[in-house]
């Protein structure tokens, strides 16, 4: 609990600095930063070296549902970095976007038009460009967007307040376009196999702190978050050969499926497609908490959703995962915009 409260206080300071234009909120001392930079240089020689172009999964999913009624397809957009793009797998159906588009189509019984503008290597300052692309066609504005971002901000030492500011602005712009937004917060970089101590401890601390600050910024900008940190922590550490891809950095097909299963309930809930009877359960640690406390707790437990309630409160939930359907082949010609 003391660690959670400490993380909550730092996350609030970062989010406040982001809101008021600051950028110099540091998380580590000078000596620790020196060690971090040395270890980062060594780690970069070992991990993250994949130059593979992620498979394109854009297209229409659940096309068969279109023959049942006259309702228009749902539109799902993806923004972010290499994880959002699906780098590390070779088939479009294995990417998180395809998995979520198929799951959304199955649960809504509507076709889903999917578009991904994520860029491998992107940091949060690229989100403005991605939002422009996503909203370029006013006749094809997404109903809901998923953003996965943050890992490159940590490894490239972007000031956390600056990182949160870019993300919050992207969420606000999408919400102003009447688009629901779900953010998969910064993953736990302490799980990457070739990263050794002391960088492993530092990377875990930095990524969880950024995830908590991201959560505050997103909630206060009208979005929802799902923590990917701890979800991709113990499970990835216990089964690295299954959940990491060949480069030992990006998730494997099973790793992406694990993340997508955690995001799907929140994605559907944002569109009113999840059972309303799924109420908060105090015995599972769910309920209303101050925003910064909810953010800090979510950063430590993967698959945790944080949704805005009446300020300064937020709702912390552990939605129950459902098995994802197998993605069907996409029909790129059926997508407009």
- The pLDDT tens digits for 48-85 are 445 578 899 999 999 988 777 778 999 999 999 988 99
Predicted model pTM:
0.84
- The pLDDT tens digits for 129-148 are 999 999 999 889 999 999 99
| SS3 labels along the chain | CHHHHHHHHHHHHHHHHHHCCCCCCCCCCHHHHHHHHHHHHHHHCCCCCCCCCCCCCCEEECHHHHHCCCCCCEEEEEEECHHHHCCCCCCHHHCHHHHHHHHHHHHHCCCEEEEECCCCCCCHHHHHHHHHHHCCCHHHCCCEEEEECCHHHHHCCCCHHHHHHHHHHHHHHHHHCCCEEEEECCCCHHHCCCCCCCHHHHHHHHHHHHHHHHHHHHHCCCCEEECCCCCCCHHHHHCHHHHECCCCCCECHHHHHHHHHHHHHHHHHHCCCCCCCCCCCHHHCCEEEEHHHHHHHHHCCCCCEEEECCCCEEEEECCCCCCCCCCCCCCHHHCCC
- CB of 96 within 8 A of CB of 133? no
225 CB burial (10 A radius; 0-12, 13-18, 19+): buried
Give the pLDDT band (50/70/90) at residue 233: very low
Q: Name the most confidently modeled range: 9-23, 98-112, 237-251.
A: 98-112
Q: Which has the closest alpha carbon to 1: 197, 191, 15, 9? A: 9
Q: So what's the pLDDT on residue 329?
A: 53
pLDDT at 250 over 70: no
Q: Mean pLDDT throughout 223-237?
A: 69
- The pLDDT tens digits for 159-183 are 889 999 999 999 999 999 999 999 9
């Amino acid at each position: 609990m003391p660690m959670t409260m400490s993380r909550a206080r730092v996350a609030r300071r970062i989010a406040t600095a982001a809101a008021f234009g600051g950028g110099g909120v540091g998380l580590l001392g000078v000596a620790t930063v020196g060690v971090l930079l040395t270890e980062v240089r060594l780690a970069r020689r070992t991990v993250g070296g994949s130059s593979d172009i992620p498979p394109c999964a854009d297209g229409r999913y659940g096309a068969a549902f279109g023959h049942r009624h006259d309702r228009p397809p749902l539109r799902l957009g993806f923004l972010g970095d290499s994880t959002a793009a699906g780098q590390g797998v070779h088939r479009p159906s294995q990417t998180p976007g395809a998995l979520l588009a198929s799951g959304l189509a199955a649960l809504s019984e509507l076709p889903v038009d999917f578009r991904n503008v994520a860029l491998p290597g992107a940091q949060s300052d690229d989100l403005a460009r991605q939002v422009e692309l996503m909203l370029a066609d006013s006749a094809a504005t997404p109903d809901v967007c998923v953003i996965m971002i943050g890992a490159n901000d940590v490894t490239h030492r972007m000031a956390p307040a600056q990182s949160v500011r870019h993300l919050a602005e992207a969420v606000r712009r999408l919400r102003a376009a009447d688009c629901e937004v779900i953010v998969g917060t910064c993953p736990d970089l302490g799980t990457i196999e070739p990263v050794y101590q002391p960088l492993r401890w530092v990377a875990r601390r930095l990524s969880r702190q950024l995830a908590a600050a991201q959560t505050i910024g997103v909630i206060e900008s009208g979005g929802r978050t799902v923590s990917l940190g701890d979800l991709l922590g113990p499970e990835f550490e216990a089964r690295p050969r299954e959940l990491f891809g060949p480069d030992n950095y990006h998730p494997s097909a099973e790793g992406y499926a694990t993340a997508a299963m955690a995001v799907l309930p929140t994605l559907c809930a944002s569109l009113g497609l999840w059972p309303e009877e799924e109420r908060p359960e105090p015995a599972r640690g769910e309920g209303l908490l101050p925003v910064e406390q909810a953010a800090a707790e979510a950063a430590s437990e993967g698959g945790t959703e944080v949704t805005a309630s009446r300020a300064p409160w937020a709702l912390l939930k552990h939605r129950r995962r459902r098995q994802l359907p197998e993605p069907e082949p996409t029909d790129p010609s059926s997508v407009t915009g």
